[in-house]
């Protein structure tokens, strides 16, 4: 069980993110996450262990023998997918990850179909899920809710781990894990993930994937970050303050083509108009210079890659899809492997999988 029980919610909530890390680890398995709530929980060593485990699972899943072994690991565990915000990739890749590892699953995809509709509190809903399941994978529009629910469960008589599958505009840690895994794989035979320039483009203000990935990249040596967006959607200052504190080089720009020319990875994002404060707010912003098309493809270095957390609208032209540097489809599939690795690690099966066939 995690150590959240040692601290009151009001006190825990106020802790700086780095100080929260020890409270989220698994007491029984050293250096292993229990609740996964923030990108800040993952240091370089843990990221590399997860990537190695994801590689291992990916190769094992190709053979019947390996797939059956993986499926035999967690048939005694059940996962609840509680998604009160729309999702395709995050929901399905977690579901597929559970299937790979033999977990059975249940889901609520709309709070209006659960007893929350009848006025049940979030706390009571989560306690209900924990009565039937051994892990909760949750997506919510509310900032900090996954963290609060983790604290609730750790103080209950049936604590179970929570994986944050996207909370408000602040965190999407498992997306950042699959993004890092994609970067590690893409540069594996080309000098590794160091001395690189990563450009983020689009809605950097409200995109939670950018916030989480920007932080995770600080774990790697000499990664310069470039933030390209219309002024109204530029990266928030708290993200830049973290980079300043860590001595990471960055640039804030409105020139996508200049950034593409010097980028090893261009991470495009959608305009997140679901967060608009007033009707048509995003539509009034001129975004035409913040799209990746045939011209940008010509400027991208030959070993550069294009990423996108997806879903996309028109920020990457479909003419780019068949270019070998378009990594977003593989990136999406990587989500299934890294989420399998995270679930296996959370339940203590890292060593067993890594030793398979040894
Ligand atoms: N990247 C991502 O979170 O996609 P979904 O909203 O489809 O889950």
Q: pLDDT by residue (tens digit) across 339-350?
A: 999 999 999 999
Structure tokens at 321: 């899809």
CA dist 161 and 183 (Å) reads 27
Q: Return the DSSP state at 80.
A: E
Packing angle of the helix pair 89-101, 173-187 (nearest 10 deg): 80
Q: Name 161's Cβ contacts closer than 8 Å, sequence gap at least 6.
A: 2, 33, 34, 35, 36, 135, 136, 150, 346
* Segment of 30-34, 73-77, 144-148 carrying the highest mean pLDDT: 73-77
Q: Are residues 185 and 39 in the same domain?
A: no
Q: Are residues 106 and 140 in the same domain?
A: yes
| Nearest atom in ligand 1 to 88's CA | 7
Please report the pLDDT score of residue 23 as a whole number: 84
Q: Return the DSSP state at 350.
A: H
118, 284, 288, 302: the catalytic one is: 118
Q: Is 2's pLDDT higher than 70? A: no
Q: Are residues 124 and 13 in the same domain?
A: yes
Please report the pLDDT score of residue 271 as a whole number: 95
Q: Are residues 117 and 222 in the same domain?
A: no
Packing angle of the helix pair 122-132, 145-154 (nearest 10 deg): 60
pLDDT tens digits, 99-108: 999 999 999 9
Please report the pLDDT score of residue 327 as a whole number: 98
Q: Are residues 99 and 112 in the same domain?
A: yes
CA dist 193 and 217 (Å) reads 9
Please report the pLDDT score of residue 3 as a whole number: 62
Q: Are residues 259 and 339 in the same domain?
A: no
Please report the pLDDT score of residue 65 as a whole number: 97
Q: Return the DSSP state at 78.
A: E
CA dist 206 and 273 (Å) reads 9
Q: Name 1's Cβ contacts closer than 8 Å, sequence gap at least 6.
A: 27, 34, 154, 159
- For the segment 257-264, the average pLDDT, to the nearest whole number, is 98
Of 164, 120, 168, which is closest to residue 146 (Cα–Cα)?
164
pLDDT tens digits, 273-324: 999 999 999 999 999 999 999 999 999 999 999 999 999 999 999 999 999 9
Q: What is the reported pTM?
A: 0.96
330 carries an active-site annotation: no
Q: Is 6's pLDDT higher than 80? A: no
Q: Are residues 61 and 126 in the same domain?
A: yes
Q: Are residues 184 and 50 in the same domain?
A: no
288 carries an active-site annotation: no
- Domains contained in the chain, number: 2
Q: Return the DSSP state at 234.
A: P
- Beta strands, E only, 182-293: 196-201, 223-228, 250-253, 265-268
Q: Return the DSSP state at 326.
A: B
Please report the pLDDT score of residue 111 as a whole number: 83
Packing angle of the helix pair 173-187, 44-60 (nearest 10 deg): 70
Structural domain that includes position 44: 3-172+335-354
Q: Is 1's pLDDT higher than 70? A: no
- Beta strands, E only, 168-274: 196-201, 223-228, 250-253, 265-268
Of 155, 158, 122, which is closest to residue 140 (Cα–Cα)?
122
- Calculate how far, in angstroms, residue 165's C-alpha sits from the geometric centre of ligand 1: 9
Strands 250-253 and 223-228: parallel
Of 40, 356, 3, which is closest to residue 150 (Cα–Cα)?
3
Of 135, 117, 182, 162, which is closest to residue 334 (Cα–Cα)?
182
- Beta strands, E only, 115-222: 135-140, 162-167, 196-201
Structure tokens at 251: 């640039």
CA geometry: angle 6, 9, 11, nearest 5 deg: 80
CATH number of the domain enclosing 275: 3.40.50.1370
- Calculate how far, in angstroms, residue 177's C-alpha sits from the geometric centre of ligand 1: 13
Q: Are residues 241 and 180 in the same domain?
A: yes
Among all chains, which residue has been given the structure tokens 């995809």? 109
| Nearest atom in ligand 1 to 166's CA | 3
- Contact assessment for residue 198 and residue 263, using Cβ atoms and an 8 Å cutoff: yes
Of 1, 332, 330, which is closest to residue 174 (Cα–Cα)?
332
Q: Are residues 312 and 341 in the same domain?
A: no
- The binding-site residues of ligand 1, defined as CB within 6 angstroms of any ligand atom, are 87-91, 166, 175, 309-311
pLDDT tens digits, 201-236: 999 999 899 999 999 999 999 999 999 999 999 999
Q: Are residues 226 and 108 in the same domain?
A: no
Pocket perturbation via mutation, ligand 1, pick of 90, 94, 176, 316 by most ligand atoms within 8 A of CB:
90
Residues in the chain, total:
358
Average pLDDT over the chain reads 95
Q: Are residues 271 and 339 in the same domain?
A: no
pLDDT tens digits, 136-181: 999 999 999 999 999 999 989 999 999 999 998 889 999 999 999 9
194 carries an active-site annotation: no
């Amino acid at each position: 069980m995690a150590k959240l029980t040692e601290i009151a919610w009001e006190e825990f909530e106020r802790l700086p993110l780095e100080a929260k890390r020890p409270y989220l680890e698994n007491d029984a398995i050293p250096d292993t996450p229990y609740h996964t709530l923030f990108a800040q929980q993952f240091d370089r060593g843990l990221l590399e262990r997860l990537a190695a485990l994801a590689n291992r699972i990916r190769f094992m899943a190709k053979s019947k023998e390996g797939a059956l072994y993986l499926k035999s690991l967690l048939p005694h565990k059940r996962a609840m997918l509680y998604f009160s915000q729309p999702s395709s990739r995050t929901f399905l890749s977690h579901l597929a990850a559970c299937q790979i590892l033999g977990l059975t699953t249940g889901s609520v995809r709309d709070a209006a179909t659960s007893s929350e509709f009848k006025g049940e509190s979030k706390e009571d809903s989560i306690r209900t899920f924990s009565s039937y399941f051994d892990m909760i994978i949750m997506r919510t529009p509310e900032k900090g809710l996954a963290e609060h629910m983790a604290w609730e469960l750790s103080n209950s008589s049936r604590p179970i781990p929570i994986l944050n599958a996207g909370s408000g505009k602040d965190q999407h840690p498992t997306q950042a894990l699959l993004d890092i895994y994609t970067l590690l794989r893409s540069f594996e035979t080309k000098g590794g993930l160091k001395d690189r320039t990563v450009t983020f483009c689009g809605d950097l203000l409200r995109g939670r994937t950018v916030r989480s990935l920007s932080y995770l990249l600080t774990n790697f040596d000499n990664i310069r970050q470039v933030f390209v967006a219309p002024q109204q959607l530029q990266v928030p200052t708290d993200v830049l303050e973290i980079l300043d504190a860590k001595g990471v080089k960055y640039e804030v720009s409105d020139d996508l083509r200049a950034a593409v020319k010097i980028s090893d990875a261009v991470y495009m994002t959608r305009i997140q108009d679901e967060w608009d404060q007033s009707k048509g707010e995003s539509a009034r912003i001129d975004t035409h210079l913040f799209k990746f098309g045939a011209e940008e493809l010509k400027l991208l270095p030959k070993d550069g890659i294009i990423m996108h957390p997806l879903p996309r609208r028109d920020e990457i032209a479909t003419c780019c899809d068949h270019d070998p540097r378009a990594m977003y489809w593989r990136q999406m599939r990587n989500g299934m492997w890294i989420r399998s690795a995270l679930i296996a690690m959370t339940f203590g099966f890292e060593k067993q999988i890594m030793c398979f066939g040894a």
